[in-house]
């Protein structure tokens, strides 16, 4: 009887280990963005921002570096001097400190767009500065 309990216990432990190993194999990593910055980061603000359908952003800049990703929807994105691009759900972006952003617009006229922004701050600088 004792031997039977040991065999059952061994099977249960083996199944638990096998299950744990299987769960580890389900974890995946995908590099979204790499950015080099000459900046001392002392504070990070993280915001989830939602644009209604067709919403455009005015020309602006960020007094701090910003990295983020598109949670849902799509964005018409253009930095001054660079080609415009469409960012889709899951895509990441990097906006360099004090770089002019011409477009960060919801590319859809009928769906909302949501993105997550990480503001990498040196001090208490504002997140966005509108440029005329």
DSSP-derived pairing of the beta strands 60-61 and 43-51:
unpaired
Are 59 and 97 spatial neighbours (Cβ–Cβ below 8 Å)? no
CATH superfamily name and code, 43-130: Jelly Rolls (2.60.120.10)
> According to the model, what pLDDT value does residue 3 have?
57
Q: Where are the domains of the chain?
A: 43-130
Sequence-distant (≥ 6) Cβ neighbours of residue 8 within 8 angstroms: none
Task: Check pLDDT > 90 for residue 67.
Answer: yes
Span 71-125, pLDDT tens digits: 999 999 999 999 999 999 999 999 999 999 999 999 999 999 999 999 999 999 9
What is the value of pTM for the model shown?
Answer: 0.75
Token readout for 91 is 């895509």
Token readout for 6 is 């040991």
> According to the model, what pLDDT value does residue 38 have?
75
Span 20-65, pLDDT tens digits: 666 666 877 777 777 766 778 999 999 999 999 999 999 999 999 9
For the chain, the DSSP string reads -HHHHHHHHHHHHHHHHHHHHHHHTT----------------EEEEEEEEEPTT----SEE-SSEEEEEEEESEEEEEETTS--EEEETT-EEEE-TT--EEEEEE--SSS-EEEEEEEEESSS--S-EE--
Span 99-110, pLDDT tens digits: 999 999 999 999
């Amino acid at each position: 009887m004792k031997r039977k309990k040991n065999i059952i216990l061994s099977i249960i432990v083996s199944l638990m280990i096998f299950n744990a190993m299987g769960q580890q194999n389900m974890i995946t990593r995908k590099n979204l963005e790499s950015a080099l910055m000459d900046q001392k980061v002392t504070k990070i603000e993280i915001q989830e921002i939602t644009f209604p359908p067709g919403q455009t952003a005015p020309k602006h800049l960020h007094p701090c570096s910003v990295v983020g990703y598109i949670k849902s929807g799509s964005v018409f994105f253009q930095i001054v001097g660079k080609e415009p691009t469409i960012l889709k759900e899951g895509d990441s972006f990097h906006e360099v400190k004090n770089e002019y952003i011409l477009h960060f617009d919801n590319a859809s006229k009928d769906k909302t767009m949501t993105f997550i922004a990480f503001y990498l701050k040196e001090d208490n600088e504002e997140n966005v500065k509108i440029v005329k």
